[in-house]
Structure 1
Amino acid sequence: MLSNGTLNRVYMIALYAALGVGGSAFSVLAAGAAVFSSFKLLIGRLTISRQPEALAMAAAGLAYYLSGVTMIATNPGDANNYLLALERLIFLGFLPLFLQISLSDRESLRESLETGAALGAVAVAIWALVQWGLSSWAIISFRASGAPGNPGPFATTSAILLAVCLLAALRQDRTRRPLFVAACFCAAFALIMSGMRTLYTALFVLPVVMFVFWPEARLRLLNQRSIWVVTALAIALVSVSSLIIASRLGHLFSMANLSGLSPTAANSLGERIALWYCAADAFREAPFFGLGRADALALMGNCTNMLVGKPLQYSHFHNALATAAALGGIVEISAIGTLLVVPVYWCWRRRLDPDARYGIVLTLSMLTIYGLNGVTNLMLGHDIHDALFVHIMTVALVLMAAREQGSAR
């Protein structure tokens, strides 16, 4: 029978490798881990921890789940809302996952997370390259979507794999450092090929986060050899993907020049601005509890039709705050805010603990990626995004905690 440490190690590697090869396979594996951990907790094989990080994050997850329940209760005629009771169950998994994951020591947990991420990074690069080749090396219209079949979740997973591989490459005494540097290159390439412009910013922001909040890594980044390696990799990456970068950014500038910041149905930028105007209307109509899914989407179609002469229909308002305001009002905004503020609070509380810095930087990197996503796209509300947020944030909190957390009988 596998020990808890071995089980955690094998599952962690498989889980983050699945980010690259299986699309929603990660969601299934993460949900399976949450169910397994919850069952162990129920039968007394895990002891509830008094670790405040775990309890605070569990409370935030419960608040987000209850926000979905509130949306159901305040919009009983909207059948689309009832799925929230199922879709948000993963957010009740923070505490059980924390208890199970914390049975592994920090070093084993870091090693398995980084190994899985490196495998996933290679896989997303292969996906991007193969899809590009199958598109006859198209430039203007090409966007890699990988196993998820959607450039958004593909870009998110690539950015998170990049963050973990960067952490691995910057850790000291790493005999496998060149492999993780290569994995960084793979993840960055996949991210660029996704065409997700808001997440392009992560290519610059993630190293800055690590430089600012990880003093040991800062010293390693500033040595002459590291500077040469980073410069060479940057040149290689830009050389390989420069046409895609130029095409996507050029298209953005073209849209901005065409319509400025006015709502229009002529391009995706104008459509997003129209959606934000309509989300504001939805919020004014139901500020506390929101309109629910069906009514918010119906308003989206009617409002955009009046605003730009064409009914626009999407599953969300292409901004995390706008979507939360329209669907769930102040209750939903508060719940999402809690999910983001709680990890930031613990980063601040643990800032002076050298052993917590890896977890702090991982947490801030994840929040950066999700925050960038939320500017013009979807932050939560997709199965991969939700499962990944819950699992990676739990891992980061375990790594941040200053003492052993769980126990098994």
Structure 2
Amino acid sequence: MPSNSTLNRYYMIVMYAALGMGGSVFSIMAVGAAVFSAAKIFLGRLTMTRQPMILSLAVAGLAYFGSGLLIIAANPADAANYTLAVERLIFLGFLPLYLQLSLMDRESLRDSLEIGAALGAAGVATWAVFEWAVYPLETISFRAHGAPGNPGPYATTAAVLFACCLLASFRAGRTRRPLFVAASLCAAFGLIMSGMRTVYPALIVLPVLLFITWPEARQRLATRGAMWAFAASAVLLVLVGSFVLMSRLGHLLTMANFSGFSPTAANSLGERIALWYCAADAFREAPLFGLGRSDAYRYMHECTSALIGEPLEYSHFHNALATAAAFGGLVDVCATSALLLVPLYWCWRHRRDPDSRYGVILILSILTIYGLNGVTNLMLGHDIHDALFVHLMTVAFVLMVARRPATAR
């Protein structure tokens, strides 16, 4: 029977390969890993930790799940809220996953993540090329959807894989580095082809973040050959994906020139601003526990109709905190914020620890990607987004916290 370390290693590789190739397959595997780990705790086969860092993250996950239950309790007649009790269960998985993943040594965990991410990046690029080949005439409006069938989760997975492969490319030796650089370009290509303007800044922010926080990265980039290779890769990437990149950015400028930053039904930018206005009004209606889903949707419909003359119907308010405020009030805003602020706090505490640097950079990369999503789109509330956040954040905490493999009973 394979050891815990071997089991974790192969499962991790398959998971992150599936992230780029199989859509919700990753979510199913992440939930399966959490359930498996929780069962081991119940059977007494995992040793509980007293690490304040992971315990605080587990509390943040519990608070987010509990906030969903409070939305249900505050709006018991709203049947649409009840699915939150299932959707947010994955956020109880931080501690079980941590205890199971801690059975691996950090080197094996990093290797498994990076190999899986490289395979996933190849899958992301393959999806983009396949879709472009199938729909070659949609040059102006083309957006890759990938296995999830949605540009949003596809772009998020591409950005996360880009971050993992970028980290791997600076950690790897001379033999493997070109492979991880190629994987980084594949993931970046997938992100560009998604047309997801919200996440585009990650292509610049993540390399800059790596450059600032990792001295070894600065030293390697300082060589003339590395600088030329980086510049050539960036130019090649922009040229290959230019038709989508230029089209999406040009469309954004057109919308901004047309209506500025005023609410309007004429374009998606104006619609988002209208949704934010209405989310603020919805928050004032029920500031503590929110309106619940059905009432928030009804309020969105009525408010946007009055504000811009056209009722809008979306599953969220195109901003993470605005959505939390409308659905769950101040309680859900605080619970959502805690999922971002707790990891950020521990990154700050470990910012000078060389042994924690890899985990710190990975956490900051996750927060950057999800933060960008949360500004004008959906941050959490999609099965891939939720499962990826919980699992990869747990991996990052293991890499930041664990000094030696834990023991299984």
TM-score for both structures, normalised by structure 1: 0.99
Q: Residue 28 of structure 2 corresponds to which residue in structure 1?
A: 28
**1:400 and 2:404 are equivalent in the alignment:** no
Partners of 1:22 and 1:39 in 2: CA distance = 26
Q: Residue 147 of structure 2 corresponds to which residue in structure 1?
A: 147
Q: Residue 348 of structure 2 corresponds to which residue in structure 1?
A: 348
How many equivalent residue pairs?
A: 409
**Shift of residue 405, structure 1, vs aligned partner:** 6.1
Letter in 2 for 1:369: I
Q: Residue 130 of structure 2 corresponds to which residue in structure 1?
A: 130
Residues 110-132 of structure 1: per-residue CA shift (max 9 Å, x gap): 00000000000000101011101
Letter in 1 for 2:59: A
Structure 1 segment 47-86 matched on structure 2, within 5 A: 47-86=47-86
Partners of 2:140 and 2:266 in 1: CA distance = 17
Residues 19-70 of structure 1: per-residue CA shift (max 9 Å, x gap): 1111000000000000000000110110111112211110000000000000
Residues 162-187 of structure 1: per-residue CA shift (max 9 Å, x gap): 00000000115352110000001100
**1:8 and 2:41 are equivalent in the alignment:** no
Partners of 2:174 and 2:101 in 1: CA distance = 23
Q: Residue 212 of structure 2 corresponds to which residue in structure 1?
A: 212
**1:19 and 2:41 are equivalent in the alignment:** no
C-alpha contact (below 8 Å) 1:274/1:307 kept by paired residues? yes
Q: Residue 249 of structure 1 corresponds to which residue in structure 2?
A: 249
Letter in 1 for 2:47: T
TM-score for both structures, normalised by structure 2: 0.99
Q: 1:235 to 1:254 in 2, by over 3 A?
A: same
**Shift of residue 215, structure 1, vs aligned partner:** 1.4
Partners of 1:180 and 1:126 in 2: CA distance = 16
**Shift of residue 321, structure 1, vs aligned partner:** 1.1
Q: Residue 189 of structure 1 corresponds to which residue in structure 2?
A: 189
5+ residue gaps, structure 2, are none
C-alpha contact (below 8 Å) 2:72/2:81 kept by paired residues? yes
Letter in 2 for 1:183: A
**Shift of residue 191, structure 1, vs aligned partner:** 0.2
Could you list the runs of 4 or more consecutive aligned residues of structure 1 that deviate by over 3 angstroms after TM superposition?
none
Partners of 1:88 and 1:360 in 2: CA distance = 25
Partner of 1:290, secondary structure, is: coil
Partners of 2:172 and 2:139 in 1: CA distance = 39
Letter in 2 for 1:5: S
**Shift of residue 213, structure 1, vs aligned partner:** 1.1
Partners of 2:42 and 2:404 in 1: CA distance = 21
Partners of 1:203 and 1:47 in 2: CA distance = 39
Q: Residue 369 of structure 1 corresponds to which residue in structure 2?
A: 369
Letter in 1 for 2:397: L
Q: 1:245 to 1:58 in 2, by over 3 A?
A: same
Residues 308-329 of structure 1: per-residue CA shift (max 9 Å, x gap): 1111000000001110110011
Residues 280-317 of structure 1: per-residue CA shift (max 9 Å, x gap): 11001011110010000110001111111111000000
C-alpha contact (below 8 Å) 1:51/1:405 kept by paired residues? no
**Shift of residue 406, structure 1, vs aligned partner:** 2.9
Letter in 2 for 1:150: N
Partner of 1:77, secondary structure, is: coil
Q: Residue 42 of structure 1 corresponds to which residue in structure 2?
A: 42
Letter in 2 for 1:6: T
C-alpha contact (below 8 Å) 2:12/2:116 kept by paired residues? yes
Structure 1 segment 286-305 matched on structure 2, within 5 A: 286-305=286-305
Aligned-residue RMSD, C-alpha: 0.9
Q: Residue 232 of structure 2 corresponds to which residue in structure 1?
A: 232
Among the aligned pairs, what percent are the same residue?
Answer: 68
Partners of 2:221 and 2:381 in 1: CA distance = 36
Letter in 2 for 1:66: G
**Shift of residue 402, structure 1, vs aligned partner:** 4.7
**Shift of residue 404, structure 1, vs aligned partner:** 2.9
**Shift of residue 225, structure 1, vs aligned partner:** 1.6
C-alpha contact (below 8 Å) 2:305/2:312 kept by paired residues? yes
C-alpha contact (below 8 Å) 1:99/1:407 kept by paired residues? no
**1:323 and 2:323 are equivalent in the alignment:** yes
C-alpha contact (below 8 Å) 1:69/1:84 kept by paired residues? yes
Moved more, 27-36 or 51-60: 51-60
Letter in 2 for 1:42: F
Q: Residue 382 of structure 1 corresponds to which residue in structure 2?
A: 382
Partner of 1:379, secondary structure, is: coil
Letter in 2 for 1:386: D
Q: Residue 101 of structure 1 corresponds to which residue in structure 2?
A: 101
C-alpha contact (below 8 Å) 1:99/1:405 kept by paired residues? no
C-alpha contact (below 8 Å) 2:102/2:402 kept by paired residues? no
C-alpha contact (below 8 Å) 2:104/2:406 kept by paired residues? no
